[in-house]
């Protein structure tokens, strides 16, 4: 399933900096129990930029094996080098993923012709569906609705993760690409409005720490039950805000560590949150009843 409540899963590390596959198994099981619709493995939140290609593929393989068909797995396959993205796509197709999340090539800022050639090259080496990933805050390149309309003509491109926070784009992309084109929010604070406007789900950072709550909100919003969705998202709002007080995934990993779900280990250049923000994270989690610092 490439719709609904999709978690942008963190990649846990040991204190020595290696991937912690035991903690990864725990996280996968938590999402299966919570009813999360799909896992994005090794996306931005999974610290894809600091994993080697071998580690990237191994983590995706592990998530597929651990999931054992009980939850859909979407692999991040983006790169600013088309040849690297193609190789990742080939290898992870063999792993048995259900689809790919392919970010706009970053830093080199390709032309429209370059974008078409890049996504076509990735689509040519797999029979799995591709979801475009538009996150101009990280790539400095915006896939506007007119660009998405052109890219949607590539066989295998089935949707977009829209992380601009601009809810007005839902109607414009629907108009250009049709109702069958999957629209996923990539911005937790505006995801409720995005889905109530006609979006099909969210790829969520918040779902890492509150999977059941995010799933319930998403289900209500996709059904058009605005009253329920608004009420549930009001409860989630402090979590949404807290998880972006520093660059993602710094806060969410710290939060998961406080919850006892994984260790707060990062790879440079990411480091633990500043002390003041550590206190904010702890306070928000306690108010949300996700931790209890009063327990003796």
The answer to whether position 154 is within a domain reads yes
Share of the chain above pLDDT 90, in %: 93
Active-site option among 128, 161, 215, 253: 161
The domain total for the chain is 1
Give the range of the structural domain holding residue 15, as residue numbers without chain letter.
4-225
Question: Nearest Cα to 103, choosing from 56, 143, 72?
Answer: 143
Confidence grade of residue 294 (pLDDT, cut at 50, 70, 90): low
pLDDT of residue 138: 84
In a domain, residue 294? The reply is no
pLDDT digits (tens, 9 = 90+) for 220-248: 999 999 999 999 999 999 999 999 999 99
Is 161 annotated as catalytic?
Answer: yes
- Is 133 an active-site residue? yes
Q: Is there a domain that residue 208 lies in?
A: yes
Residue 228 annotated as binding site: no
Q: For residue range 39-53, list pLDDT tens digits in order.
A: 999 999 999 999 999
Per the residue annotation, which of 3, 91, 128, 133 is the catalytic one? 133
Condensed to tens digits (0 to 9), the pLDDT of residues 103-123 reads 999 888 899 999 999 999 999
Q: Is 203 annotated as a binding residue?
A: yes
Residue 260 lies inside a defined structural domain of this protein: no
262 belongs to a structural domain: no
The answer to the question of residue 268 being in a domain is no
Is 279 inside a domain boundary?
A: no
- Percent of the chain exceeding pLDDT 70 equals 99
Q: What is the CATH number of the domain that holds 78?
A: 3.20.20.70
């Amino acid at each position: 399933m490439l719709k609904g409540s999709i978690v942008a899963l963190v990649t846990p590390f040991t204190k020595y900096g290696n991937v912690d596959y035991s903690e990864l198994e725990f996280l996968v099981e938590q999402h299966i129990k919570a009813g999360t619709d799909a896992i994005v493995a090794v996306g931005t939140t999974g610290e894809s930029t600091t994993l080697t290609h071998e580690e990237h593929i191994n983590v995706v393989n592990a998530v597929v094996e651990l999931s054992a068909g009980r939850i859909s797995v979407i692999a991040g396959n983006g790169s600013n080098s088309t040849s690297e993205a193609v190789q990742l796509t080939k290898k992870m197709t063999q792993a048995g993923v259900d689809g790919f999340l392919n970010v706009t090539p970053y830093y080199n800022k390709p032309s429209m012709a370059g974008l078409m050639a890049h996504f076509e090259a990735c689509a040519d080496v797999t029979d799995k569906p591709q979801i475009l990933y538009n996150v101009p805050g990280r790539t400095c390149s915006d896939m506007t609705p007119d660009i998405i309309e052109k890219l949607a003509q590539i066989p295998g491109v089935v949707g977009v993760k829209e992380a601009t926070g601009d809810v007005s784009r839902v109607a414009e992309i629907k108009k250009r690409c049709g109702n069958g084109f999957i629209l996923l929010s990539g911005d937790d604070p505006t995801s409720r409005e995005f889905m109530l406007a006609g979006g099909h789900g969210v790829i969520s950072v918040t779902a890492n720490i509150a999977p059941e709550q995010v799933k319930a909100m998403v289900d209500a919003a996709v059904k058009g039950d605005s009253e329920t969705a608004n009420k549930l998202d009001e409860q989630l709002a402090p979590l949404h805000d807290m998880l972006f007080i520093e660059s993602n995934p710094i806060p969410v990993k710290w939060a998961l560590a406080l919850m006892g779900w994984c260790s707060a280990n990062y790879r440079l250049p990411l480091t633990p949150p500043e002390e003041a923000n550590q206190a904010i994270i702890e306070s928000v989690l306690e108010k949300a009843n996700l931790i209890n610092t009063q327990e003796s």
